[in-house]
Structure 1
C-alpha cells in the first residue's frame, strides 16, 4: 500500500505544462490531487485523457481574484498536505515597460495572487495535514537584468516571501521550498529566443517538485545551478553587461 494513499496535494495554476506533469507524478505516488485553474475545461480534458478521475479533482481558481481566495480555501473538500503554487504569467520586458496593465498582470499572478492565497493557507492552524508549500520561482528573479527585470522583480518578491514564510512555519514543521527555475519548454516561453542547450522539459522539472526535500532553494539541472551561483556572485558592473 502506498504510504501517500491518504494524502492530498493542492496545485494552484494546475493548467501549466509543469503542473500537469506534476499531477501525473503525484498520482503515481498515490496522492489525491486537487488541481485548480481558471481554465477548468482544459484540466478536465487532461484528467479524462489520463484516466485520473478517481484521484484528481478539478477546481476553479483565479489567482487575481483576491477576494475569492478565502472562500475557495474554505470550500475545499479536504485540506491539503502539500500546496504547489504554479500559476504564472509572462510578457516581454519591452511590453511590460510600455504597457503597465501587462506589468500589473504579472505582479497579480506571480506575486500578489500567491501571497493572497498562501497567506490564507498558511494561517489556518486548524489544518494539521499541512506538511509542505512549494512555490515555482525563477532565475530571472536572482538579479535584475535589463532583458527581463519587470518579470524578474515579481519572482524576486515571490522568493523573498517564500523565504520568510519558511521561517514563519518552521515551528509547525511545515517545509517551504522555492523552485528557482530556468528555461522550460512550455506555453509561457513560446516565441522567445532561448538557448536550446539550456531548455528543460516540463516532466524533468516536475520530478523536482514531487521529490522536493528540506532545502529551501531547489534549482533543477546542474547547468542552471552553475548559472544561479554565478548570478549570485557577479559584481554589478558585470551583471549590467548581461542581455
Structure 2
C-alpha cells in the first residue's frame, strides 16, 4: 500500500501552470488533492482532460478575499497534510510604478493573501495531519534590481515570512519550504523577454515541490542555483549595474 494513500495535499492557486503539474505528480505519488483556485472552470477542464476527476476535489478560493479565508479553511473536506501556496500575480515594473493598482494586486496576491490563509492553517493546532507548508517564491526577491523590484519586493516579503513560519512550526515538527524559482515557461511570463537558456518547464519545477526535503530554500535547476548564490553575495555596486 502506498504510504501516501491517506494523505491530502491542499494547493492554493492551483490554476497556475506549475501547480497543475504538481497536482498530477502528487496524484502519481498516491496523495489526494484539493485544488483551490478562483478560476475553477479552467481547473475543471484540466482535471477532465487528464482523467483525474476521481482523485481531485476542486474548491473555490480567492487569495485576496481575506474575510473568506477562515470559512474556506473550516469547510475543507479534509484537513491537509501538505499545503502549497502557488498563487501569484505579476505586472512589469514600469506599469507597477505608474499605476499603484498593479502594485497593490501583486502585494495582495503574492504576500498578504498568502499570510492571511497560511496563518489560519498554521495556527490550527487541532490539525495533527499538517506536516509541510511550501510557498512558491522567486529569484526576483533575492536582491532589489531596477527591472523588477516592485514584484521582487512582494516575493522577498513572502520568503521572509516563510522563514519565520518555519521557526515557529519547528517545535511541532512541521517543515516549511520556500521554492525560489527563476524563469518558467508559463502564462504569467508571456510577453516578457527572457533568456531562453534559463527557462524551465512547469513539470520540471513541480518535481521540486512534490519532492521537497528538509532544506528551507529550494532552487530548481543548477544554473539558477549558481545565479542565486551570486546574487546573495554580489556587492551593491554590481547589483546596480544589472538590468
Pairwise same-fold verdict (TM > 0.5): yes
Aligned to 2:23: 23
The residue number in structure 1 matching 2:4 is: 4
Q: Offset at 1:51?
A: 1.2
Matches within 5 A, 1:14-93: 14-93=14-93
1:174 aligns with 2:174: yes
1:49 Cα offset (Å): 1.0
Q: What aligned pairs does 1:194-205 form with structure 2 within 5 A after superposition?
A: 194-205=194-205
* RMSD (Å), alpha carbons: 0.3
Matched residue of 1:172: which SS?
A: coil
Alpha-carbon separation, structure 2, partners of 1:195 and 1:186: 14
SS in 2 for 1:134: strand
Could you report, residue by residue, the CA deviation over 1:136-180 in whole angstroms, capped at 9, with x for unpaired residues?
Answer: 000000000000000000000000000000000000000000000
2:216 equivalent in structure 1: 216
Tell me what 1:117 maps to: 117
Identify which range, 195-204 or 48-57, moves more after superposition.
48-57
Query: Once the 2 structures are TM-superposed, how far is the Cα of residue 222 of structure 1 from its aligned partner?
Result: 0.2
**Structure 1 spans left out of the alignment, 5+ residues:** none
Rounded to whole Å, the distance in 2 between the matches of 1:50 and 1:201 is: 18
Report deviation, 1:50.
Answer: 1.1
Counting matched residue pairs gives 243
Match of 2:230? Answer: 230
Deviation, 1:54, is: 1.6
CA distance in 2, matches of 1:55, 1:229: 39
* Off by >4 Å, runs of 4+ in structure 1: none
TM-score, normalised by the number of residues in structure 2: 1.00
Q: CA deviation at 1:11?
A: 0.2
Structure 2: runs of 5 or more not aligned: none
Give the structure-1-normalised TM-score: 1.00
What secondary structure does 2:41 align onto? helix
Provide the secondary structure at the position in 1 that maps to 2:178.
Answer: strand
Shift of 1:64: 0.3
